[in-house]
Structures are given as C-alpha cells and as structure tokens.
Amino acid sequence: MAERKFFGTDGIRGLVGQAPITPDFVLKLGWAAGRVLSKQGTKKVIIGKDTRISGYMLESALEAGLAAAGLQAAFTGPMPTPAVAYLTRTFRAEAGIVISASHNPYYDNGIKFFSSEGTKLPDEIELAIEEELEKPLTCVESAMLGKAKRIADAAGRYIEFCKGTFPSELSLAGYKIVVDCAHGATYHIAPNVLKELGAEVITIGCEPNGTNINDKVGATDVAALQAKVLEEKAHFGFALDGDGDRVMMVDEEGNKVDGDQIAYIIARDALRRGELKGGVVGTLMTNLGMEVALKNLGIPFVRAKVGDRYVMEELVKQNWLIGAENSGHVIMLDKVTTGDGIVAGLQVMASIVGSKMSLKELCDGMTMYPQVLENVRFAGESNPLESDAVLSAQAAVEAKLGDSGRVLLRKSGTEPLIRVMVEGEDADLVKESALAIAQAVKDNC
C-alpha cells in the first residue's frame, strides 16, 4: 500500500499556521474528503471541534471545501471526539470530522475523520483523499452546492447516550467525584452526565478560553486532579483529555489509575458478570503487570501496535470487545465504536458501585511494573533508531533486564518525538536504563 503523505496514526495534525494546518490546505482537504466520502447519498457531514481558538478558522475552511464538493455540513460546536462518532451514526451522515489535536497544546490542531459507522477511516480511504488533494480544486454547479447548519441538541443527545451505558439499576448518589475536563470539549458534557446519575461533582479544567486546553490539567497531567481529590476527600477523580477520547482516574488516596488499569477493571467486572467475550487487546506500551494479571484470571491478551486504530483492528480481527492503551484510550465495542473517555470511566464507576469496593481496592489485583517513558524531540532527516550507538545502548539494557523487563523505542505518530520506554521489576534500574538510551538517542538525532 502507498505511503500516506498527510495522514498520521490519528488524522492530520500539526502546528496551526504551518502546513498542513493552514486555512487553504484545510479548505482543499474538505473538498477532497467530500469528493471521496459522498457515496451514500445523504450528502451530510457532521463537524465537531474541541475548544482551541483555531477551531473557528478551521471549521469555516472545512465547511467551504465540503460545500464546493456538494456536501452539507452540520456543526455540533465544541464536542468530544467520541460524541462526533456517535452523532455520525445516529444522523446517518456520510462521515464525521473532528477538529482537534487531542492531548496536544492549544497551538497545535488537527483533523480526524470518522466513517458513516463511527469508526476511524480505513487506510485506503485516507489514501483516496490524499490522491484527490493532488488534483486541482473544482466546484459543483451552484444549485448543487452544500449548505451548513448547527445541531442544536448535540450535547443533550450525547449526554443521554453516555448515561445509557451506565446500568439503570445503579446510581452514583452518595459519591463525591472530582471531574477534570482539561478545559476541553467535555467541559459541558462530563459534569452533567455524572450529576444526572446522582453524583456530587466538583469540577476543574472546565473553563476553556481557547488557549488553556490541556494546560496543567486533564488526562495528560493529573497532578491538579490528585491534589483536588485529596483536598475534597472525594471518593475518586476522573480526568479526560482535550477531546474526550482519553481517560485517567485517581483513587481516594491520590494514586493515578491509567488506561491499562481501567481496562483490567472493566474486563474483570465483565468476567465476574459472565459477560466477557474473548480477551483484551493492549499495545506494545501496555504494562507487563496487566498481561500478568489478566493471565492469572484466565483472560487472553494480545498486543497491537501503538495507536487506537491498531487496537481497533486487532479487536475486529480477534472478535473481542475490550481494548486499551495505557495513555487512556479505552474501547468497548459493545458500547462504542471508538475510544470514549466518559463511557470508559462510567464502566469503572459501575464496577465501584456494583461491587461496593473503592477504586483503590479494584486496582489491587494488578501489580504495575515500574515503567519509564522518555521523550526525545526529533527534527532531523536521519533515523536515530537505526544508529549503532542507540542499538548498542538498547542491547546493553535488554541484557541487564533479562526476562523481567522490556525496552521499546519508537517514533511518535502524532508529534516529532522519539519515545523511549523501559519497563522492569527494579525501579532504579528501569529509570537509569531509560535515561541511558534517551541520551544515546539525543546524541544521534
């Protein structure tokens, strides 16, 4: 298959104002996508965005491109990525488009696409869009131009959907929960979902201003959530990233609970209820502790490449339902078609309520191996991962760790970074090893 020029592991992403995240490119992207995606005849595309200031500009450019291709744009306003996937299905739209750079800072932005089924676009469709981008932009005749409108009740529809994934016989009454929305797209969704399920809700990260998304809040930085949970003596905390497809939690003692632990709790609860179908899909980054804990329960486990699209592909291949990345993408195919932070969190909360156990107690069955991730910024043309010095440093660490640890080096699919991950039983050795490999990478960038 041909190599993609613009699409990465999660759509097209970059610095606003620099190619490809410019108004002219995004206008043509809307046109190219419209030409490829207009297969069903509904001529409708759902467009959502997170709270970045650049979303206004890119939204207008996309709409113009789609209109030139003859497609209608239906705007949701700020809306979580999984909500756009859900609305795309319920409105029987040709596709859904999300303007978001997920967990990145406000000065980045990106474009993600969903199929009419609410799933990420397959590679062949992304390649077809890239082929259209090489052609000169044309415009359908005036009578065929697309129109635009706003979906007035988008938030209410999604709130009801989320609530519907929580068992009707259970309630969050009596629970004090701190919710951190990363000043992102869930700020008007997640607190209302939990309140309507009966919880006492304390919010942080719910005051977006266009430039504070993911800034020292949210799933990528839970320090503020940990402090608030302890201050409020809350039962637990719940953090989402800027576009709501990732979730992290914090237990009553302030300990972080990541995507691996969340998937483990969900799988174990499904097993307890006799509703587990198959096993769990993780990634190359999944903690060894999860693999061991699932094995102890007799639950099958396989690893996919890093990226929720690859987790999804493996789930479909295995015909399983539960997949996750430790970064907080959690997929439950019996409930959603993509990673959904709110819905994943609700399943953990259902386990807390149903078992009458605390979040910390639910995590106790899984011992996390020390894992250190070092990110090295990478801007050169050469590939440091092929350097003899880097390969030598990696081999030396693997020899020290033996069978009780792992090393993983990879390029990020969403940022110009080399990710160095080392995992093992000895925390000091793991940290020392990760720093040694990271230094070798830096020296060879």
- Residue 361 CB partners (closer than 8 Å, separation 6+): none
- Residue 316 CB partners (closer than 8 Å, separation 6+): none
Is 241 a known ligand-binding residue?
yes
Residues 84 and 82: their CA atoms lie apart, in Å, by 5
- Edge-to-edge strands, sheet with 247-250: 200-204, 176-180, 236-240, 247-250, 256-257
Is 38 a known ligand-binding residue?
no
Residues 362 and 218: their CA atoms lie apart, in Å, by 22
Catalytic-residue membership of 38: no
Residues 67 and 188: their CA atoms lie apart, in Å, by 29
Is 245 a known ligand-binding residue?
yes
Tell me the DSSP string of 239-250.
Answer: EE-TTSSBEEEE
Residues 348 and 322: their CA atoms lie apart, in Å, by 13
Residues 281 and 314: their CA atoms lie apart, in Å, by 7
What pairing do the DSSP bridges indicate for beta strands 108-114 and 44-49? unpaired
Is 243 a known ligand-binding residue?
yes
- Residue 405 CB partners (closer than 8 Å, separation 6+): 288, 369, 398, 422, 423, 424, 425, 429, 430
Q: Catalytic pick from 38, 102, 327, 351?
A: 102
DSSP character at residue 144: G
Report whether the peptide linkage leading into residue 20 is cis, meaning its omega lies within 30 degrees of zero.
yes
Residues 269 and 267: their CA atoms lie apart, in Å, by 5
SS3 (DSSP) at 236: strand
Which of 52, 47, 85, 21 is CA-nearest to residue 245?
Answer: 85
DSSP character at residue 369: P
Binding site, by residue number, is 102, 241, 243, 245
Residues assigned a catalytic role: 102
Binding site for Mg(2+), by residue number, is 102, 241, 243, 245
